[in-house]
Amino acid sequence: MEGKIGLEEHFAVNETLMDSKGFMPEDFWIELRSRLLDIHEKRLGLMDRYGIERMILSLNAPAVQAIPDVRRAIEVARIANDVLAEEVTKRPDRFSGLAALPMQDPEAASQEFTRCVKELSFRGALVNGFSQVREVNSTVYYDLPQYLPFWQVVENLDVPFYLHPRNPLSVGHPEYDGHRWLVGPTWAFAHETAVHALRLMASGVFDKYPNLKIILGHLGEGIPFNIWRIDNRLRKSPMGYSAPKLPGEYFCSNFWITTSGNFRTQTLIDTMLEIGSDRLLFSTDYPFEEVNEAAEWFDKASISEADRLKIGRLNALQLFKL
């Protein structure tokens, strides 16, 4: 399929580059480093070869969210956004941007998000999970009351917020001790991000700001396959859940899902059955995944051509107002 749009596609700046080193084998680091810093050469060539018309670019992980020093987090977010804006202006027909945000300070995050949308023409934001705030071992999620004014700004800007994974902190997670293979995209990414998304559903934020648009990658971080059971158990035993609606209702009204890094047709179809093809979007997760694998799988997946066109292109055009 020609004309695909990918929206979980990453780059790095010098200040965040080394955050990505541990996600690939050491002998692949030179290649990964080159991919993260490249925008207009190899990346653009792969897009041309595999029918990707546009990439909506975002900063690597965990980057800003892993900077406990609030002032430094604000500084790095602004540096990354300015670099991305400059790169996008070189080829605005092929690239768009998602803002990095210093969520350590909700007011500063609101100001930076507004700047990125109003002045830099970014199409939304991508935030790498919880933030470490002032203390290295702190874990701050965005369902907390101090983030309500931020979510109001997001709704007013009327652009999507991509909740992207990061690893849980090593402190307080003995289940991963001695099992490094479980961290990162194998398992911990999905678990951490799903819990964060469910916390947002339970917080009441979608009742206060019903037009919020949240994106999850990797075919929903496991939520589509568990949402019925979550709702079913909460009907029988709320256990402190107090939101007016069940999580499944928020999931189907406020969330969009991408195919990033999860190239399996059975999983795609299950997600379509849960959330509908109008809320699914093609993505690669480049440079951590391969463009050819994502594109060749998607172009041949056993779905209707109407759904392929929606997921590959039309839904992104509508969601991001492209």
pLDDT one-digit tens code per residue, 226-237: 999 999 999 999
Sign of the dihedral through C-alpha 246, 247, 248, 253: positive
How much is the pLDDT for 100?
98
> Catalytic: 285?
yes
Number of Cβ atoms within 10 Å of the Cβ of 128: 26
Q: Is the pLDDT of residue 31 over 90?
A: yes
pLDDT digits (tens, 9 = 90+) for 48-101: 999 999 999 999 999 999 999 999 999 999 999 999 999 999 999 999 999 999
Number of Cβ atoms within 10 Å of the Cβ of 156: 13
Q: Choosing from 19, 105, 285, 307, which is the catalytic residue?
A: 285
CA 81 to chain centre: 16
Q: Is the pLDDT of residue 257 over 90?
A: yes
Q: Which domain holds residue 215?
A: 4-319
Q: How far apart are CA 265 and CA 271, in angstroms?
A: 10
Q: Is the pLDDT of residue 142 over 90?
A: yes
**Residue-averaged pLDDT of the chain:** 97
- Would the pTM count as exceeding 0.95? yes
Once rounded to an integer, what is the mean pLDDT over residues 293-299?
Answer: 98
CA 91 to chain centre: 23
**Exposed (0-12), middle (13-18) or buried (19+): which is 42, by Cβ within 10 Å?**
middle
Segment holding 255, helix H or strand E: strand 255-258
pLDDT digits (tens, 9 = 90+) for 173-210: 899 999 999 999 999 999 999 999 999 999 999 999 99
Task: Judge whether 59 and 8 are in contact, CB under 8 Å.
Answer: no
Q: How far apart are CA 205 and CA 201, in angstroms?
A: 7
Once rounded to an integer, what is the mean pLDDT over residues 247-259?
Answer: 98
| Residues facing 126 on adjacent strands | 162
| Measured CA angle at 279 (ends 218, 207), to 5 deg | 100
Once rounded to an integer, what is the mean pLDDT over residues 18-32?
Answer: 88
How much is the pLDDT for 25?
82
Once rounded to an integer, what is the mean pLDDT over residues 284-302?
Answer: 98
Q: How far apart are CA 317 and CA 5, in angstroms?
A: 8
Task: Judge whether 51 and 3 are in contact, CB under 8 Å.
Answer: yes
Q: Is the pLDDT of residue 24 over 90?
A: no
State the CATH number of the domain containing residue 284: 3.20.20.140
How much is the pLDDT for 26?
83
Number of domains in the chain: 1
Per-residue b or e along 62-89, where b marks 16 or more CB atoms closer than 10 Å to that residue's CB: bbbbbbbeeeebbebbbbbbebbbeebe
Q: How far apart are CA 239 and CA 246, in angstroms?
A: 13
How much is the pLDDT for 57?
98
